[in-house]
Amino acid sequence: MRSQLAAALARVAGGDRAALRIVYQDTCAKLFGVCLRILKDRSEAEDVLQDVYVTVWRKAATFDPGRASPITWMVAIARNRAIDRLRMRTAGGRLEPIEAADAVSDPAPAAVERVELAQQHQRLTRCLEELDARHASAIREAFLDGATYEDLAARMNVPLGTMKSWIRRGLLKLRACLER
């Protein structure tokens, strides 16, 4: 049986506001953490978070539990919005450290989903381990920070072409490994 979260999303698709509240309570800390990590600015992350749940409200009917887990579907929406916002910043955007934030416990997803996510995580980790360590770490950083090729090249102190080549080769190998 799928998780409560998938069931709540099905009800959100039917226009049930109470169900959206359940979805929010279960996922807001995770998604706020994701937005904050990318934007490194609490007030911008708050704006994006609101936008994320309005998007979830509108798009719940397109969520297909047979193809995606509810939490990765929502993480994808949050990252997408946060990265769009990040790209809208003018050049020379801020890169301040994250202010002290209250970490909270992660609400536990339903058992079945937890097992599935753990399996997926294990699989991805195994595939990342097959890559050159620098390629794998560039991929992780890009995902978590929403950093562009230019940002990553500067951070890791390599030419832009080298960074592109690392990530592209890494992604192609990863694709092949994940499909095995």
Partner 1 sequence: MSDDDTIDPADRGKLTAAEYVLGVLGGEERREVKRRLAHEPALASEVAFWEERLGVLADAVAPVAPPQHTWSLIEDAIPAAEAARPTSLWQSLAFWRGFGIAAATLAAASIAALAYIGLVPATRAPLMATLAGSSGQPNFVAAVTATGNSLVVVPAALLTNDPRAIELWLILPGPNQRPRSLGLIQPGQPIRLTIPPDLAGHLTPDAALAVSLEPPGGSPTGLPTGPVIASGKLTSL
Distance in angstroms (rounded) separating the CA atoms of residues 171 and 138: 11
Least gap, CB of 142 to partner 1 (angstroms): 5
**In the complex, what is the shortest distance from the CB of residue 58 to partner 1, in angstroms, rounded to a whole number?**
6
- Measured from the CB atom, the residue of 36 and 131 that comes closer to partner 1 is 36
- Each residue 29-68 as x (binds partner 1 by CB under 8 A) or -, in order, gives xx-xxx-xxx------xx--xx--xx--xxxxxxxxxxxx
In the DSSP assignment, the letter for residue 40 is -
Which residues, at least 6 apart from 68, have a Cβ–Cβ distance to it below 8 Å?
A: 76
Q: Least Å distance between CB 62 and partner 1?
A: 5
Residues 148-177 within binding reach of partner 1 (CB under 8 A) = 148-150, 152, 160-161, 164-165, 167-169, 171-172, 174-175
User: Positive or negative, the Cα torsion across 32, 35, 38, 44?
Assistant: negative
Interface with partner 1: number of residues (CB under 8 A): 89
Asked if 110 is part of the footprint of partner 1 (rule: CB under 8 A), the reply reads: no
Q: Is 134 a binder of partner 1 (CB under 8 A)?
A: no
Phi first, then psi: what are they for 68, rounded to 5°? -140, 155
**10 binds partner 1 per the rule CB under 8 A:** yes
Residue entry with tokens 């694709």: 175
Q: Can you tell me which of 111, 114, 115, 124 binds partner 1, judged by CB under 8 A?
A: 124
Q: Which is nearer to partner 1, 1 or 133 (CB)?
A: 1
Sort 65 into a burial class: Cβ within 10 Å, 0-12 / 13-18 / 19+.
middle
CB of 160: closest distance to partner 1 in angstroms? 8
**Cα separations in angstroms, 133 against 128, 146, 164, 170:** 8, 19, 15, 10
**146 binding partner 1? (CB under 8 A):** yes
From candidates 41, 73, 131, 135, binder to partner 1 by CB under 8 A: 73
> Which H or E run includes 5?
helix 4-13
Closest CB 163 distance from partner 1, rounded Å: 9
The rounded distance, in Å, linking the Cα atoms of 5 and 170 is 33
